[in-house]
């Protein structure tokens, strides 16, 4: 167990002023959430926005709405949801929660996007939608995905949970598909302790979404009070000089990736909406800092990256040449509290809760990433000394 200054692998600040606005939102829930919905629609240039309890809830509700819409249109055979074989474990969990069938497609090991040749062979008349992700903030090839989905009558769902505020070719990620999702969870680009956002400009999707949203209840006052305590503790203990305390408590599971068997479907609370009052300036500040930190690492580790890319990486990914080399760097980081972390520990088909559905299927690139991928922190708590130490630690890491 490490005692002393320790960098969290991912973090987003919550300031005292944000906490104050959160308390005010607790007592004015509807005006607070309505204001954020209006701002989201305006800022992202979309027609509809729905605020819910988490990014996982956002995906679950979206899939439930798409399923209901397909049934109303007489397309009951469309029950397949195509997802990357290497992605957040919450993605297949949401598919299962929505009562749909997850179908996997392998990924490209350098971009984390779908293997598009395999994806084209995977889509058929049972495909309800394709869930494209911008993993760590790296944009998926949305134009190509759009053409494939249109050719097969499938909906393109854009998982921008790790890319809020980022752009591709001058367009906001999360607005390039038929429906987009953002996460406001701990460690994302910005946070209110939890929360998720659904955006779309499709009238028929929004209509189906409104039905699902209307069935959600708002969190109770007691639930919000508990959330406030948790957010307050997070805001205090995410700081590097205190983070070692929660990191040393195994029951908190910090840094662990688990398959969520229970997904709470709620509306965003007034407390959380209040915490988001200054979300635009907070998001811009967060993404600017992440882009600068990522660019620093790219300059120090030029063999690892093709260019000095100024995108706001949520975490900067590096693929080691071998699993053993990854383990060496990760172990050294743990001892020194540098925040270098592993990503998802298995491809989706090897998650214990999922493997019976994919018996005999293999996804080589997804497996390689699960064995060799490291991520470097990019959040604002890194000092210049921290950045230098991380760059030195990774300097001799062989390219995959």
What residues form DSSP beta bridges with 129? Answer: 81, 155
CATH code linked to domain 279-394 = 3.90.1150.10
Residue 3 has pLDDT above 90, yes or no: no
The separation between CA 84 and the C-alpha centre of its own chain, rounded to angstroms, equals: 13
Residue 114 near residue 107 (C-beta atoms within 8 A): yes
Residue 240 pLDDT greater than 80, yes or no: yes
Strand partners, 156: 130
Q: What span, in angstroms and rounded, lies between the C-alpha atoms of 318 and 376?
A: 8
| pLDDT on residue 86 | 98
pLDDT, position 398 = 59
Q: What is the pLDDT of residue 204?
A: 97
**Cα–Cα distance list, 342 to 93, 262, 371, 385 (Å):** 20, 24, 9, 22
Phi-psi region of 153 (alpha: psi -120 to 50; beta: other; left: phi over 0): left
Residue 362's SS3 state is coil
- Among candidate residues 243, 253, 320, the one with its CA nearest the CA of residue 329: 320
Residue 306 has pLDDT above 70, yes or no: no
Task: State the pLDDT at residue 303.
Answer: 67
Domain spans of the chain, in order of start: 17-214, 279-394
Mean pLDDT of 200-204: 97
| pLDDT at residue 399 in the model | 57
> Region 197-213: what's the mean pLDDT?
98
SS3 assignment, position 151: helix
Asked if 287 and 238 touch (Cβ cutoff 8 Å), the reply is no
pLDDT surpasses 90 at 271: yes
Between CA 154 and CA 320 the distance in angstroms is: 35
CATH code assigned to 17-214: 3.40.640.10
Q: What is the mean pLDDT of the chain?
A: 94
- pTM for the complete prediction? 0.96
Task: Report percent pLDDT > 90 for the chain.
Answer: 87
> Would you say 380 and 286 are in contact if contact means Cβ atoms under 8 Å apart?
yes
Residue 309 has pLDDT above 80, yes or no: no
Q: Give per-residue pLDDT as tens, 147-187.
A: 999 999 999 999 999 999 999 988 999 999 999 999 999 99
Task: Write down the pLDDT at residue 255.
Answer: 79
Half-sphere exposure of 377 (CA within 13 A, CB side): 29
Residue 383 burial (CB count, 10 A): 11
CB atoms within 10 A of CB 364: 13
CB 70, CB 98: distance < 8 Å: no
- Tokens representing 130 are 């394709």
Contact 107, 282 (CB under 8 A): no
Residue 390 to residue 115: CA distance in whole angstroms: 31
Condensed to tens digits (0 to 9), the pLDDT of residues 344-377 reads 999 999 999 998 999 889 999 999 999 999 999 9
8 Å CB contact between 344 and 370: yes
In angstroms, rounded to a whole number, what is the distance separating the alpha carbons of residues 261 and 186? 19
Print burial letters for 288-305: b (CB count within 10 Å at least 16), e (below 16): ebbbebbbbbbeebeebb
Q: Rounded CA gap, 134 and 127, in Å?
A: 21
pLDDT band at 253; cut points 50, 70, 90: confident
Q: Is the dihedral of CA 193, 237, 338, 247 positive or negative?
A: negative
Count of CB atoms situated within 10 Å of the CB of 106: 22
Two structure tokens written together for 298: 């790219």
Does 400 score more than 60 pLDDT? no
Confidence of residue 23 (pLDDT cuts 50, 70, 90): very high
What's the confidence (pLDDT) of residue 395? Answer: 87
* Tokens read off for 167: 């752009």
pLDDT digits 0-9 by tens, 93-147: 999 999 999 999 999 998 999 999 999 999 999 999 999 999 999 999 999 999 9
pLDDT of residue 193: 92
Buried b or exposed e, range 183-198, using 16+ CB within 10 angstroms: bbbbbbbbbbbbbbbb
pLDDT at position 334 is: 94
The three-state secondary structure class of 211 is: helix
């Amino acid at each position: 167990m490490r005692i002393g200054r320790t960098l969290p692998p991912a973090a987003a600040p919550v300031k005292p002023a944000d906490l104050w606005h959160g308390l005010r939102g607790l007592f004015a829930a509807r005006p607070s959430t309505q204001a954020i919905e209006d701002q989201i629609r305006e800022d992202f240039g979309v027609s509809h926005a729905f605020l819910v309890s988490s990014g996982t809830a956002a995906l679950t509700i979206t899939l439930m709405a798409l399923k209901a819409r397909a049934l109303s249109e007489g397309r009951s055979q469309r029950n397949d949801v195509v997802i990357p074989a290497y992605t957040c474990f919450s993605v297949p969990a949401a598919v299962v929660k929505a009562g749909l069938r997850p179908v996997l497609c392998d990924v490209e090991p350098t971009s984390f996007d779908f293997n598009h040749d395999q994806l084209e062979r995977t889509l058929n008349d049972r495909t309800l939608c394709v869930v494209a992700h911008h993993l760590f903030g790296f944009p998926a090839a949305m134009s190509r995905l759009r053409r494939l989905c249109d050719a097969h009558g499938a909906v393109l769902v854009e998982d921008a949970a790790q890319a809020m505020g980022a752009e591709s070719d001058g367009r906001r990620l999360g607005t390039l598909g038929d429906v987009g999702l953002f996460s406001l969870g701990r460690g994302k680009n910005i946070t209110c302790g939890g929360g998720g956002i659904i955006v779309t400009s499709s009238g028929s999707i929004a209509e189906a979404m409104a039905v699902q949203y209307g069935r959600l209840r708002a969190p109770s006052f007691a639930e919000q009070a508990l959330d406030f305590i948790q957010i307050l503790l997070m805001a205090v203990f995410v700081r590097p000089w205190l983070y070692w305390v929660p990191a040393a408590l195994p029951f908190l599971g910090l840094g662990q990736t688990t398959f969520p068997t229970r997904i709470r479907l709620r509306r965003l609370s007034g407390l959380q909406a209040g915490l988001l009052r200054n979300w635009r300036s907070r998001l811009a500040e967060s993404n600017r800092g992440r882009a600068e930190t990522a660019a620093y690492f790219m300059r120090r580790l030029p063999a690892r990256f093709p260019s000095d890319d100024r995108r706001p990486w949520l975490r900067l990914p590096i693929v080691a040449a071998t699993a053993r080399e990854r383990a060496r760097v990760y172990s050294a980081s743990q001892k020194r509290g540098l925040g270098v972390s592993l990503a998802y520990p298995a491809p989706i088909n090897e998650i214990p809760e999922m493997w019976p559905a994919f018996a005999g299927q293999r996804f080589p690139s997804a497996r390689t990433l699960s064995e060799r991928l490291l991520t470097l922190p990019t959040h604002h708590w890194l000092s210049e000394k921290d950045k230098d130490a991380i760059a030195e630690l990774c300097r001799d890491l062989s390219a995959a």
